[in-house]
Structure 1
Amino acid sequence: MEQSNLEQKEENFRKLGDILNTCESLVEKVGHLQVDLFNAPDKDLEKILDILNNDFSAAHQLITEYWHTYEDKITQLRK
């Protein structure tokens, strides 16, 4: 049986939420490692972590913004 447009969008929304949670987890893990480096500095690793933190944070922000937009689309379909 073919899924309705609403069901497909809800499934995509759940998957997008999973991606958002994964991205948030990556930001947190990088942050924890950055804090750990205060006790055992490693300049090369710090540079990489700064880049990753910036990239993951930007991705998280982008996904969050679209997540809200997609949520609004689903809300409109439910009406």
Structure 2
Amino acid sequence: MEDTRLDIMEHVLRKMQDVQHSQQALVEKIASIQVELFDHPDKDLETFLERILSTTSQGADLMNEAVEKFEMKVNAEEQGGNRAE
């Protein structure tokens, strides 16, 4: 059976959501490391972590926006009834 346009879109959406969850986990892990450094400060590492967290958070925000917009497209495709059953 050949995948329909909707099947492909849903597959892509699941992969995007997986990336979204991975990015969120990365943000949480970096924040956790920062908390652990409160007891044993390391200014150099803290500086790197702040930069990484900022960049990662921006990427996560962009992915969240992309997922949201793509979900709307998938929902519109579903509503259009273009799925071959």
With the shorter chain as reference, the TM-score category is over 0.9
Partners of 1:40 and 1:2 in 2: how far apart? 57
**1:1-79 residue pairs with structure 2 within 5 A?**
1-79=1-79
Partners of 1:59 and 1:17 in 2: how far apart? 13
Gaps of 5+ in 1: none
Partners of 2:15 and 2:2 in 1: how far apart? 19
What is the count of residue pairs matched by the alignment?
Answer: 79
Partners of 1:52 and 1:11 in 2: how far apart? 29
What is the TM-score normalised by the length of structure 1?
Answer: 0.97
Partners of 1:55 and 1:11 in 2: how far apart? 27
- Structure whose CA Rg is larger: 2
Partners of 1:51 and 1:4 in 2: how far apart? 42
RMSD: 0.6
Partners of 1:62 and 1:2 in 2: how far apart? 32
Q: Which runs of 4+ in 1 moved over 4 A?
A: none
What is the SS of the residue equivalent to 1:39? coil
Once the two structures are TM-superposed, the CA of residue 2 in structure 1 deviates from its matched residue by: 2.3
User: Larger relative contact order (C-alpha < 8 A, sep ≥ 6)?
Assistant: 2
Gaps of 5+ in 2: 80-85
Q: Which amino acid aligns with 2:57?
A: S
Q: Which amino acid aligns with 2:68?
A: H
Q: How many percent identity over aligned positions?
A: 34
